[in-house]
Structure 1
């Protein structure tokens, strides 16, 4: 890049036409040198600004790409959430369709599923029992028998399905192990019929 701008070159040319050159005096020469130095500084600053603008544009492009990727990830998560909600609703309808009360507990004996039949039998809606300790629920006097049934499955899976009488209405409880995809014990499923 030239150290003399077109405007400065034009100014110097006019000064020469008027007879104002270095012979006019040291002040004019100093002024010319100062103008040339200022022009050089402005050209250097302009160059830095062009580089900074280019860097900012590149950063903007990277941010735009990242935003596009995040948007795609967000859409996928929304789709998966929708799929999980649909499967959860389907499984709940299956549980609600089983006659009697159905309760699913995890290995810590916390309620993970509660059928409409369980809500009708014990008077507690699903929202009140979900995630709570099964042994702490008020099951209208049936709690000790049902806790025993669940604990026996969690301790020894071989007793699965043996009927346990509960309540005064002749109901029976059966408990079965709940297994994960790897075959490991993940909890128990309790059925109360009668």
Structure 2
């Protein structure tokens, strides 16, 4: 972190966390949210229905297709994509710009397609790839979730194979063997004042 950033006179750099499906991106981001309140976490908009326990405005902004179309048409998305060939996800631009302008450590937890769009739209962002300890562990996590049908699991595993091949596109790689360790490493890249807690 530069002296200007420490003094608060320069905007923070955006850190983007991406990786294959079921690698634990959401779990790592939730750990950061719970243990590092100084880190600003973006809330993605999505057209998919909530999973059990998910809260609108906390885990995602759940919107219908018409509202998502409006956000895209108005240029209010930093990135967006169709994920797994079904639902759309995206990052509203305004809250990201506001957090960075305020000098807060800012984290996006998004998919590979979104990370590529952020790279194009905000090249100064730091892209972090979260990878599983092994392919077998990734399959175990996906099946263990029990939130997808067999067809959805197969589609997600096919997508995960492609996503794993994109690791070289990222600036840093974190292996998610243990959530606390991965989250601590991620917060270190954000330069969070609470990174040593």
TM-score category, normalised to shorter length: under 0.3
Q: TM-score, normalised by structure 2?
A: 0.22
Q: TM-score, normalised by structure 1?
A: 0.22
Larger RCO, structures 1/2 (Cα 8 Å, 6+ apart): 2
